[in-house]
Every structure is written in structure tokens, then in C-alpha cells.
Structure 1
Amino acid sequence: MFWTLAGAGMAAMYAFRAMKHRADTRRHEWEQDRVNEALDESFPASDPPSFTPTGGPHLSGRQPY
């Protein structure tokens, strides 16, 4: 009787771990889908990044050090 209960407990534990793994996998896929959708919607960007110079190499008239 003990081994039957122990076996059932182990089976339940493995079933729980499998369900948790599937849920974690689905959550990860959902998060990746959200990231990919945001990337698709933001590309191509109409504005250059803020660190991109908008003019020549010396906008302020000063020479670099």
C-alpha cells in the first residue's frame, strides 16, 4: 500500500511539473510575441536616434580635444 501511494505521489509531482513547464513555455512564447510585435510596429523608425548628429562633424564650432 505504501509503494502505491508513493508511486501515485510521484506521478502527481511529475504531472504538476509538466503542467508548470508547459505554462512557463506558453508565458515565455507570449512575452516573445509581445516583444516581436512591438519591434515590428516600431521599425522602420521615422526619426533618427537622439544621439545621431544632425549636421556636420563640428556643430558647435569647437574642435574636438
Structure 2
Amino acid sequence: MKQPYHDPWARREAWRYHPIFSRSAQLRGAFPGLGIATAAFATYCVVEHFFFKKDDHHDHGHGHGAH
């Protein structure tokens, strides 16, 4: 009876298929603080938009006889 094909290097290649080495796990590890930074930046933008309104109606003194 013939034995099924056995790859002698299978054990050495098994690490490539472990879930910790998957592409999604690598991407998560590449940007560890991206989620927190995105939330902090979004909060900053909302606070700046609603609480620090820019007043565009004031005069800078450019060309209006402010000598």
C-alpha cells in the first residue's frame, strides 16, 4: 500500500498560515493608535467648529485708510 504524500517541510512552513501572521493582523499592528487618534481628531474638529466660530466681519486695516 502506498503512503500518502508527506511534505518534509510542512512543519517549517506552518507558521505562515497561523492567524497571527494574517494580513489583517499585520495591518492592525502597523497602526496601533489610529483609531484613538481618529476619534480625538474628529472630536477636536467638532469642538472647534461649534465653539470657536470665526468672525469674518472684522477689518484688518488693509487698504481702507488705516495709515
Normalised by the length of structure 1, the TM-score is 0.50
Q: Does 1:54 align with 2:58?
A: yes
* Code of the aligned partner of 1:54: H
User: Shift of residue 9 of structure 1?
Assistant: 2.2
Q: 1:2 to 1:59 in 2, by over 3 A?
A: farther
User: Shift of residue 11 of structure 1?
Assistant: 1.6
Normalised by the length of structure 2, the TM-score is 0.50
Aligned to 2:44: 38
- How many residues are paired up? 57
Q: 1:5 to 1:59 in 2, by over 3 A?
A: farther
What's the % identity of the aligned pairs? 11
Larger radius of gyration: 2
Aligned to 2:14: 8
User: Shift of residue 27 of structure 1?
Assistant: 2.8
More helix by share: 1
Structure 2, unmatched stretches of 5+, are: 1-6
Structure 1, unmatched stretches of 5+, are: none
Distance 2:35 2:9 in 1: 39
- What RMSD in Å do the two structures reach over aligned CA positions? 3.2
Q: 1:10 to 1:58 in 2, by over 3 A?
A: same
